[in-house]
Amino acid sequence: MNDKHSEFSLFRILDAAINRTNEGLRVVEDYARLAIDDAFLSTELKRLRHDLTETVKSIELSKRMHARDTLGDVGTAIELPTEYERSGLTGLTGLTENSGGSDSTPSGEWDDGLSGTIKANFSRAQQGLRTIEEFSKLLDVDVAKNIEQIRYRSYSIEKSFIATVFGHRELAKASLYTLITAQGEWEVRVKAMVKSGVDVVQLRDKGRSDREIIAVGRKIAELTCGSKTVFIMNDRADLANAARADGVHLGQDDLEVGDARRIVGPSKLIGVSTHSLAQARQAVIDGADYIGVGPVFPSTTKHFETHVGLELIKEVAAEIKLPAFAIGGITLSNLPRVLDSGARRVAVSGAINESDDPGAVVREFKRCLAF
């Protein structure tokens, strides 16, 4: 670039954009690290900052410094009335009108200004990345291409971040998740569970036709309507919609989260079964609202070739803050071991469904899980 003034302007723009991007990413990283103690998201954000630093090394630092003129920046004197306002975000992901959710917060809404701060800083970083990408094309096309990929990654991390924080809030008080089949006096059992305060009921019934499952599901939706109990359909996103469920739970061989989201839309919960730390991390990246982690112990209701045991529960609890329900053979007798491993949420089937008094078992689980 022969025009010295143009060169000065170019490096001034790039310097400001690089600084702005790093600042935005650091604000979000600090929230992940210090507010929600999420080691996985903190690591992903730190890696993004590191990759940005490595990519822009070819943009000469000395020229950036010589072009920096903060006191002469006309933008520092421009203020908008909303610049210092931070409000909650609406329309992200939430529960349907049939679910209990929170007592007063509308579906999909974050009820404080922290969400606005997070969104503003993700936007700041992404806008900065776009500026770097566009102007670095005048210096090095390879740099521009790498910045483009970093920008795309930032969108994915933002999605994961929002799912983690929002999922945590929507399920903040959810500790007991139960799985049922429509066998015997199942309606009586569900009524007792809901009355006793079970947080989530999942319909898992592979022995029925789609029409039968939808009919059962709609009945469960009626039984949970107006309560704080969330109704989840197992495996099938299409049936979740038809049955008016609050969400769908996916196995590792089912639809991917993104494909399920296209079916159920943005307002329903999506959970994912995970059997390794890598799968748990991927579920976060994919935008799941919660995960199941297991199987912990042999189960009386579902056969598994292997069991991950309590070690995986410890690993997930130490690294991931997305709501995680330990699952697989959990009973009141082995619950203390599960809690000692770091779990604060459990999914239970046989221990409740095979009881003569499911409501009493739910209450006892809830008492032990109180936190």
Active site residues: 204, 273, 302
d(C-alpha 234, C-alpha 237), whole Å = 8
Question: Minimal CA–CA distance to 65: which of 25, 20, 14, 127?
Answer: 14
Pairing of strands 176-180, 200-203: parallel
- CA-closest candidate to residue 163, choices 260, 92, 74: 92
Give CA–CA dist 197/3, Å, rounded: 71
**Whole-angstrom Cα distance, residue 80 to residue 44?**
32
**Distance in Å from the first CA to the final CA of the chain:** 63
Q: Give the integer Cα–Cα distance in Å for 74 and 321.
A: 42
State the greatest distance between any 2 C-alpha atoms of the chain, in Å, as a whole number: 85
Residue ranges of the alpha helices (H) in the chain? 4-30, 39-55, 61-67, 114-136, 141-170, 186-196, 210-224, 237-242, 257-264, 277-286, 309-319, 335-340, 350-353, 358-369
- Residues contacting 89, CB < 8 A, separation 6+: 109, 110, 115, 116, 119
Report the C-alpha gap between 108 and 35 in whole angstroms: 21
3-state class (DSSP) for residue 347 = strand
Cβ atoms of 337 and 310 closer than 8 Å: yes
Q: Which of 170, 175, 38, 152 is nearest to 95 (CA)?
A: 170
> Rounded to whole angstroms, how far apart are CA atoms 262 and 368?
37
What 3-state class would DSSP assign to 111?
A: coil
H/E run at residue 304 = none
